[in-house]
Structure 1
Amino acid sequence: MVLPISNPTKSFWIEEASSALRDFRSTKDLPKETDYTENDAQKPRILMLEARDICGSATGRNGGQLRPHAYSRYPAWSARFGPDGAMGLIKHEMAHLLAFQDLLAEEDIAEEVCFRLGETFDAAMSDEAWARLKGAYEAMKKDHGQDNEVVRVCRLIEDTKAAEEFTQMKACLGAVVHPAGQVWPYKFVHALLRIVLKAGNLNLQAHTPAESVSERDDSGWITVKTGRRDVRTKTVVHATNRWASHLLPEFGNLIFGSRATLASIKAPEGFIKHTGAQHWDSIVNNYHLQLPPPYNSIIVGGARSLLVHSPQDCSPNDEEDKQFDGASEFFQSWPELDVVGWPGNYPAELAKNVDEGGCWSGVESMSIDAFPFVGDIPNRDGHFVTAGFSGHGMPRILLSTAHITPLILDALNIKYTAPSLVAPYPPLPKPFQATAERISSLQKINSAAIFEKNSKDCLESAKKPFCNKLPGRPKS
């Protein structure tokens, strides 16, 4: 049985938000049953169980960037799915920018969740990185032409001085720029939950892990067992990401835990102009954004030049109750060493004490084929899944949910009209679909060999000069 640990490191996102929903329980006792019944007047009842505090896992611990893979994965995706398949995946991610904007405007919570659209960059910090980043953009442009809607909004900055000025990254050789956004992910989820709770058909229960789920019985009921009581339901949605295999053993070789680290750094108001990432090779990177007033903190993550020296501490690994050795020192050195124009009289300090949310670790999922599993679960009537987002859920989950919701309502025989907000957006990409064929084929993969190769690749990066200036710092 695999469940998240009970005492993870404290995340800035969670601690600073101080949400009233953190340990919320709608009712003292769990209901005996949930879902739509004939007496509910077509109003389904929803029971949401959280193993720990509400949104206390990956979404409450991630980087906050709403950052599509606008071009960087194009060569790999094109090799697997062809040029059109790769572009379809990119457009699905890019569509999340307007989807977030529309949803947050509709619910009037954009300012509350610190939402902003703008441009992001991939900064090449080595010749190796520049060849890879520029090559990915050029490959997409060659296949789809300059007038393609995605190619049109991406651009290269090839002049070193201009790249350094735009990215604010010292020693940047060049950059690829494209549209992106940022959001306070924890506040976003809590705001939506608050709205749904007010509507009256959600029962939200913190600290209530599901211990097991049954198959549907002859009467159409599924039993969810918890330590508090058993609950009967007609449908179950496994929105459990890394933890899917706890209740779904068939995902045991498909989704794993991968531990990462981030920090929150004090910064002058409005200092960082764009979200972005630094790249030294295909593994070693940092990424960052700055929050608006009154917070002003820079959220910075990655630290891969440090972490590649001990790959076993990252994947597969669920130890989010532990800090990475040297991580807080690494992040506090980052502004002065890497950021152009960092004021010499402004101390590069954590926004909170190390163990109070200033620096934290978190477990993201790692899908065996790098794509999530979304849809109805084969051979499990009434069960649905949305999991395995591989640290890239921000530009994938919202519209994946738009796909899965009608499946659930259809399973309950509930009449509905799809909201106009979801109409313009592309369908769920085929590589996301949780088909029996996909699951069966992936179960045959030697996952141990994949982790062994990943470890070897990390250790090869660890030998490179940019990973060997103590304490694991890239050369600036």
Structure 2
Amino acid sequence: MSSRYLPVENPTKSFWLTAEDEFSTYRSSSKLPREADTIVIGSGYAGTTFTYYLLKENKINPSSILMLEARNVCSGATARNGGHLKPDLYYSHKKFSAKYGAKGAAEIINFEHAHLEAMKELIETEEIDCDFVLTRACDVHLHPKSVNAAVSNYKSMIKNPYVTCKKDVQIKFGEQAEIISKVEGSPVCLTYTAGHLWPYKLIVSILKKNIEKGMQLQTNTPVLSTTKLTDGRYLVKTNRGEIICNNLDIATNAYTASVEPKFEGKIVPIKGICSHITSSDPNKKTPHLTNTYGIRYAGADGDYLINRPDGSVIVGGAKRHIFPFKQLFYDVVDDSTLIPNTKEYFDNYMNDRFYTWKGFPEVADYVWSGILGYSDDSLPYVGEVIGDKNKFILAGFHGHGMPRVLLCAKALAQLVSGKKKWLEIPSAFKITEDRMENTKNGILISLGTPSNDVAKL
């Protein structure tokens, strides 16, 4: 086990965490139980939805499930992301087709698109107040290479007979692209269904429902090591004591190597930056944009943003200022600091990009960092750990967890509970011996380096 992959203290404060209250440090009991049937490590999106679906099966005693969280409730990537439920319906199609075939690529696309309906159903069924909005995403491509890649991938996806959601994607060029996107000089834009929400409120609401059913939760209890015992059970060592369990479920994303050394180098912590932008004049309402956005410049440089129902905007990215500092963002778990120049990147951000915002007084009142779990082949690792019966991983979502986690968590819960005999997720997401032994770490290659030839907005 490696303690250097544990979360740090005093992380930056995200806008989403302004919703924190006394529940953030909740503990079901003052002392840890000595045993539990199931231990879930991580209280974020993955761990919480996994236990939600596990409890829905009604085949396990809720009080026998113990969730351990290293810091406060949902204080990791889930509470630091862009709140953007945005599937990738086209841009990675050629890459996935080349590696997994037309059916494999379609599996991933259809699976991500299915999250829109699944999330809407969950939120409405459980009556969760988390500012959920179903809308359209607008992808704007501003560099010739990005434009060519977008058009090429779109055409390739449209020809794939196994993609069931292709009619949801629309492509526009020239003046129409500029008007739809509100970005001057945009040569092309693609739109499709997406959503956005307050991720912290979503997860806390589900967590409270899990606890009402009897699930145990212990915050500020980092797991220091896990050991497989001779009888097949697991000894989980924390800073507050040891616990023995029958089933161990690791939902720690970027921090996975801290509790499962097999994933060191396979799931790497990557530091990202996000912001909250609003009106600097309390008497003026922002020029609200209907769409959510993905904005691609040169190379791997890009931003993403949502327009919240209160008029404010969440923007993440600033990659052109992150990538020059490999030692500050790659294989790093420190979310207590920012990266040089990233805070300034969001100054006047909306004015510089959207013509409807020109001249409007804006301020980035929150800028924060978060740690993303990038995997060596860009896809999550979901399933039972090879060679370790009843130890499961749900992690490595590569900065794209919102449209992948929910149904992965549901499928894994159904497998663990015995309801299903196999994982109903894309084959490329499953943990296999081949992925564990033969996949080469291509994270730095996939991140690339933004070109100096960046399109000017």
Corresponding residue SS for 2:372 = strand
Distance change in 2, residues 1:104/1:315 (3 Å): same
- Say whether the 8 Å CA contact 2:12–2:336 is kept in structure 1: yes
Q: Show the counterpart of 1:46.
A: 65
**1:106-140 superposed Cα distances (whole Å, 9 cap, x missing partner):** 1011xx11111111011011222211111110111
Aligned equivalent of 2:239: 227
Equivalences for 1:88-107 in 2 at 5 Å? 88-107=107-126
Alpha-carbon distance between aligned partners in 1 of 2:233 and 2:308, rounded to the nearest angstrom = 46
- Contact map agreement 1:270 1:290 (CA 8 A) in 2: no
2:336 to 321, 338, 347: 321
Amino acid at match of 2:300: I
What displacement does 1:217 show? 3.4
- Retained in 2: the 8 A contact 1:263–1:360? yes
Q: CA deviation at 1:439?
A: 1.0
Which residue of 2 is the match for residue 130 of structure 1? 147
258-267 or 167-176, larger mean C-alpha shift: 167-176
Deviations 1:70-122 (A, max 9, x none): 1111010011111121111100111000000111111011xx11111111011
Output the CA distance in 1 between the equivalents of 2:348 and 2:20.
28
In structure 2, the CA distance between the partners of 1:127 and 1:437, relative to structure 1 (3 Å rule), is closer
Between the aligned partners of 1:48 and 1:20, the Cα distance in structure 2 is 18
Q: Is the 8 A contact 1:242 1:255 kept in 2?
A: yes
List runs of 5+ in structure 1 lacking aligned partners.
Answer: 352-357, 411-415, 419-425, 467-473
Q: How does 1:375-454 map to 2 (within 5 A)?
A: 375-410=383-418, 427-442=424-439, 445=440, 447=441, 450=442, 453=445
Report how far residue 205 of structure 1 moved: 1.0
- Equivalent positions of 1:236-315 (< 5 A) are 236-267=248-279, 268-269=285-286, 271-293=288-310, 296-315=311-330
- Cα distance in 1 between the residues matched to 2:456 and 2:24: 41
Residue 456 of structure 2 aligns with which residue?
A: 475
- 2:104–2:428 contact (8 Å) kept in structure 1: no
User: CA, structure 1 residues 453+398, in 2 after alignment: closer, same or farther (shift >3 Å)?
Assistant: closer
The AA in structure 1 aligned to 2:180 is F
* Aligned: 1:154 with 2:169: yes
- Paired position in structure 1 for 2:452: 463
Q: Higher strand share goes to which structure?
A: 2
The TM-score normalised by the length of structure 1 is 0.85
Change (3 A) 1:452 1:96: closer
How many residues were matched structurally? Answer: 427
Give CA deviations for 1:35-55 in whole Å, capped at 9, x if unaligned.
Answer: 28xxx9952421110111111
The answer on whether the counterparts of 1:309 and 1:462 sit within 8 Å (CA) in structure 2 is no
Q: Quick check: 1:376–1:407 contact (8 Å CA) kept in 2?
A: no
Map Cα deviations across residues 52-72 of structure 1 (whole Å, 9 max, x no partner). Answer: 111111111111110111111
> Displacement, 1:333?
2.2
Deviation (angstroms), 1:229: 1.5
Aligned residue for 2:160, secondary structure, equals: helix
Other-structure match for 1:6: 9
Aligned residue identity for 2:12: T
Question: Whole-Å Cα distance in 1 between the matches of residues 33 and 391 of structure 2?
Answer: 19
For structure 2, the 5+ residue unaligned runs are: 39-57, 280-284
Does the CA contact (< 8 Å) of 1:316 and 1:451 recur in 2?
Answer: no
Check 1:271–1:382 CA distance in 2 against 1; reply closer, same or farther (3 A cut).
same
Give the Cα–Cα distance (whole angstroms) in 2 for the partners of residues 253 and 306 of structure 1: 24
What TM-score does the superposition give when structure 2 sets the normalisation length? Answer: 0.88
Residue 83 of structure 1 aligns with an amino acid whose one-letter code is A
Closer/same/farther in 2, CA of residues 127 and 453 from structure 1, 3 Å limit: closer
Task: Determine if contact 1:35/1:233 at 8 Å carries over to the other structure.
Answer: yes
